[in-house]
Amino acid sequence: MVDGGMDGSCTVADLQGILGRLGYGWTGCNHLFTLGSQVFSHMAKKITYPKEVTKPVEKHLVEKLSTLEKKKKDLHKEDPFSDASRLDDNAAVDADAAEQFGHMRVNAVKKTIDRSIIQIRKALSRIKVGKYGICERCGKFIDTDRLMILPETTLCVDCEKKREK
């Protein structure tokens, strides 16, 4: 697990460890690099995950995005308010309450799906620009265990905790 130092830096050995756990080798000098600016101090080279690592993640995120968009479309059919025949029906109070509850449930699920879709699109765009796996707030590497569980995350654990407060 790599979170970087207090100043947002970590060693090349840390990066080698990440890539080693993913089955990739990496060679380079053993100088510290600053993650905030995302460059080696002496090489001015951007630090990113290799394409071989991000391609499967990108494929997974695209599939997840497609699934969520389909679910969102299907939710419209479940919304009791989308049924035109309900306008002609003078339903009892309990039936009206059930419709209200069903509508509120569908809206809550839609909002959750919308948030997930936004996060996935952000992660996909970060893959394209080479910033995947780097916290969008502090610039540190996001822990690989966190990325394995939530590949769409764009914040490290510390920044996520601060955001939730």
What predicted TM-score, i.e. pTM, was given to this entire model?
A: 0.62
Q: What is the mean predicted confidence (pLDDT) over 97-111?
A: 88
Same domain, 45 and 56: no
Is 133:151 a contact under the CB 8 Å cutoff? Answer: no
Is residue 10's pLDDT more than 90?
Answer: no
Same domain, 150 and 93: no
Same domain, 120 and 65: yes
Q: Give the domain extent around 76.
A: 52-127
What pLDDT is stored for residue 16 in this prediction? 54
At CA 147, angle to CA 41 and CA 134, rounded to 5?
25
Does residue 1 fall inside a structural domain? Answer: no
Does residue 4 fall inside a structural domain? Answer: no
Percent of the chain with pLDDT over 90: 30
Same domain, 75 and 99: yes
Q: For residue 17, what pLDDT band results from cuts at 50, 70 and 90?
A: low
Q: What is the mean predicted confidence (pLDDT) over 44-65?
A: 82
Same domain, 87 and 148: no
Is 142:134 a contact under the CB 8 Å cutoff? Answer: yes
DSSP string of 118-141, one letter each residue: HHHHHHHHHHHTT-TTB-TTT-PB
Structural domain count, the chain: 2
Average per-residue pLDDT for the chain: 75
